Structure 1
Amino acid sequence: MLRNTLLAVLLLCYPVLAYFGLQHWSPRTMALVLLALALLRACAGRRQGWWPMAAAAALPALAGLVSDRALPLKLYPVMVNLVMLAVFGWSLLGRQSLVERMARLREPDLPPAGVRYTRRVTQAWCLFFVVNGTLAALTACFASDRVWALYNGGIAYVLIGAMFGGEWLLRRRVMARSDHA
């Protein structure tokens, strides 16, 4: 448990670690670090289905290892957004969206209005991952390393938190309205 938490924190902090690491080491060295983190994550989380995130880290790490360039390493946040978009988007093709499945853990008899709402929230997250992934790609390709690290290691997490918080507030309003209906 502690090992998984530590690995998750290291991968979350990756943009800041990469920024400082690239100040002192070659991209190839940082690629080895990211590759090691990806392999540890894949091994530690193989039962929980974490392999897509491990692959998202391993692909840019391998490209950075071969090329000895920083750009592939800076594309890791783009890959994470692509994986998240795929997971949330794929769920929209099935009977239950990912957000609906999570909601049913708390409320197994989710009413039809709740099902519609959770589908909309899943769609909103898909849009978020498209926008966030695009901004991550733009900062990787066109911004300084400092701006890239600031956006991907800080601002993006604030935006994720705002999305969670905003959805929570909206859900409270929607539930209060449906309770009075």
Structure 2
Amino acid sequence: MTRRILRWLGIATLVIGYPLLAHYTNESAQNSNLGALVAIAPVVLIALVLAWNSPRRVIMLGALMLSCVALWAGWSALEQHFGLVYWLQNVGMQLILFMTFGRTLIAGRQPLCTRFAEAVHAPLTPQHELYARQVTVAWTLFFAVMALVSTGLFFLAPLVIWSFFANFLTLPLVALMFIAEYWIRRWVLPEMRQTRILDAVRAYRNTSARPR
């Protein structure tokens, strides 16, 4: 129980603390060294986890060490453009989610939201299948728009404005989209009103864990 509480506290600290620290480094050019460090830390950490879990651990860890040496050699350039790293992380995640939903709309594939719906409500009615496909389209467009807005703000607006959008509005907008879809579903599919939002979250976790 204590371990679970500590884990969730750690996740909450990371989710809240990292955006605050990232935004702080974007507010002033005097934070360039800290900004470069905070910007590159998630990339290095993810690379370390992937390398450690790789079947070719020694090779991957060696490649990671060489990459870190290259980062150290080019640290001054990274300090001057650390905002670009932040943007690449943000827009990269939006594009990954865009492709995750969008590729399931290709002919012959099952829309992602249909897969989630089946995990909770199988078998689905034709109306529910149609709705689930439309929701998949909506999420695909949502992440495309998020990527475009992030890119537009980064290149056309001051860095601090883009930082506020990326660090403080991205997750709330995703949550708002999730809640809006829930209430629209209750209106369009009244027979599904007993379904809770957490059911969709569990469906996502269960579906993601299945071998494909």
With normalisation by structure 2, the TM-score equals: 0.63
Gaps of 5+ in 2: 55-67, 194-212
Alignment of 1:123-142 (within 5 A): 123-142=137-156
Which stretch shows the higher mean deviation, 76-85 or 147-156?
Answer: 147-156
Whether 1:10 and 2:23 are equivalent positions in the alignment is no
Q: Which residue of 1 aligns with 2:188?
A: 174
Q: Which residue of 2 aligns with 1:30?
A: 38
Which stretch shows the higher mean deviation, 92-101 or 20-29?
Answer: 20-29
Alignment of 1:29-178 (within 5 A): 29-39=37-47, 42=50, 65=71, 66=74, 67-68=77-78, 69-75=81-87, 76-93=89-106, 94-176=108-190
With normalisation by structure 1, the TM-score equals: 0.73
In structure 2, what residue type is equivalent to 1:115?
A: E
Q: Rg larger in 1 or in 2?
A: 2
Asked whether the equivalents of residues 83 and 159 of structure 2 are also in contact (C-alpha less than 8 Å), the reply is no
> Deviation digits for residues 16-60 of structure 1, max 9, x if unmatched?
3322245534254234313233235647999xxxxxxxxxxxxxx
Q: 1:39 to 1:151 in 2, by over 3 A?
A: same
> Deviation digits for residues 58-93 of structure 1, max 9, x if unmatched?
xxxx9xx45411232231111111000010001112
Gaps of 5+ in 1: 47-61
Q: SS of the residue aligned with 1:110?
A: coil
Q: SS of the residue aligned with 2:189?
A: helix
Distance 1:123 1:110 in 2: 18
Q: 1:92 to 1:113 in 2, by over 3 A?
A: same
> Deviation digits for residues 113-140 of structure 1, max 9, x if unmatched?
1111011000001111111111111222
Asked whether the equivalents of residues 71 and 141 of structure 1 are also in contact (C-alpha less than 8 Å), the reply is no
Asked whether the equivalents of residues 7 and 41 of structure 1 are also in contact (C-alpha less than 8 Å), the reply is no
Asked whether the equivalents of residues 100 and 118 of structure 1 are also in contact (C-alpha less than 8 Å), the reply is yes
Distance 2:53 2:153 in 1: 29
Asked whether the equivalents of residues 32 and 82 of structure 2 are also in contact (C-alpha less than 8 Å), the reply is no
